[in-house]
């Protein structure tokens, strides 16, 4: 099992460009999440999908959109990148969406917006 | 609303010494608490979680944490540090205010340095 995979590993964008971060899991999990990690701020939830066909905003959704393409895949799109979106992005998944669920994280995508 | 605070963004210990990473939480209801570890250039992985079944929780790699309601704390400890423990550690709490969604609220993280 690969677990949670993310592509690309690293990306440089210019302000105003768009891109989609891809995430896939092979654990047959129902719930998936997108976080951003910034120094001194821990991880903050951008969007999540409790189950296939549903998506909801997290703590910092502005400037992002998501698509739960199927049970395996959950993508994050930046329509018009801004320097403030320079960050490390993590995708995670969990079997269910209960409060005790363990989340499994991908290796991250490092994004630099110039 | 739930929140967690990790005291000390950077902790340095010698190999073989006690590891103590501090986490305090704020919650109006009994919390569900987690410790995750992030090794360099990797994603996070679960160390342990508090589910209210027992106040002393044992996790992987010799780590444990004790839930103390009176102190609103969930500190992470390991009796003897190993070089391989060098990583960033995150305390997190389930966001119970959002219903049964599994959303986590993370602390700021503590980087553990282990000196030979």
CA–CA separation, B76 and B23 (whole Å): 8
Would you say residue A108 has pLDDT above 90?
yes
CB contact under 8 A, B106 and A40: no
Tell me the per-residue pLDDT of A5-38, one tens digit each, with 9 for 90 and over.
Answer: 999 999 999 999 999 999 999 999 999 999 999 9
A101 has pLDDT over 90: no
Residue A41: φ, ψ to 5°: -125, 5
The pLDDT score that the predictor gives to residue B72 is: 93
Chain A residues whose beta carbon lies within 8 Å of the beta carbon of residue B40: none
Tell me what pLDDT residue B97 has. Answer: 64
Q: Tokens for A57, please give them.
A: 């905003």
Q: Which residues of A touch B41 (CB under 8 A)?
A: 107-108
**Residue of A40, A45, A100 lying closest to B108 (CB–CB):** A40
Count of Cβ atoms closer than 10 Å to residue B36 Cβ: 27
- Nearest CA to CA, how far is A80 from chain B (Å)? 26
* Residue B10: closest C-alpha in chain A: A40
B88, B8 contact by CB (below 8 A): no
Residues in B touching A56 (Cβ below 8 Å): 101
Q: Are A20 and A7 in contact (CB under 8 A)?
A: no
pLDDT of residue B99: 62
pLDDT, chain A, mean:
94
Q: What is the pLDDT of residue A41?
A: 87
User: Tens digit of pLDDT for each residue in A79-88?
Assistant: 999 999 999 9
Q: What is the pLDDT of residue A2?
A: 80
pLDDT tens digit string along B39-78?
988 889 999 999 887 899 999 999 999 999 999 999 999 9
Smallest CA–CA distance from B90 into chain A, residue: A42
Report the chain A residue with the minimal C-alpha distance to residue B50.
A100
Q: pLDDT tens digits for B73-113?
A: 999 999 999 999 999 999 999 877 666 667 889 999 999 99
**Residues facing residue A112 across a β-bridge:** A12
């Amino acid at each position: 099992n690969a677990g949670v995979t993310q592509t690309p590993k690293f990306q440089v964008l210019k302000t105003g460009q768009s891109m989609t971060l891809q995430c896939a899991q092979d654990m047959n999990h129902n719930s998936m999440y997108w976080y951003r990690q910034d120094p001194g701020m821990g991880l903050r939830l951008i969007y999540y999908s409790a189950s296939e066909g549903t998506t909801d905003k997290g703590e910092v959704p502005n400037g992002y959109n998501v698509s739960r393409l199927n049970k395996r895949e959950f993508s994050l799109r930046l329509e018009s990148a801004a320097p403030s979106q320079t960050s490390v992005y993590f995708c995670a998944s969990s079997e269910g969406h209960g409060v005790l669920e363990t989340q499994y994280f991908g290796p991250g995508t490092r994004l630099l917006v110039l | 609303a739930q929140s967690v605070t990790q005291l000390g963004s950077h902790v340095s210990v010698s190999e073989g010494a006690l590891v103590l990473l501090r986490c305090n939480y704020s919650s109006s209801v009994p919390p569900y608490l987690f410790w995750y570890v992030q090794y360099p250039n990797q994603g996070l992985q679960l160390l342990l979680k508090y589910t209210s079944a027992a106040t002393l929780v044992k996790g992987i790699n010799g780590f444990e944490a004790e839930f103390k309601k009176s102190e609103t704390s969930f500190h992470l400890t390991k009796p003897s540090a190993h070089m391989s423990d060098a990583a960033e550690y995150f305390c997190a709490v389930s966001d119970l205010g959002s219903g049964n969604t599994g959303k986590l609220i993370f602390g700021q993280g503590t980087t553990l340095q282990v000196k030979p």
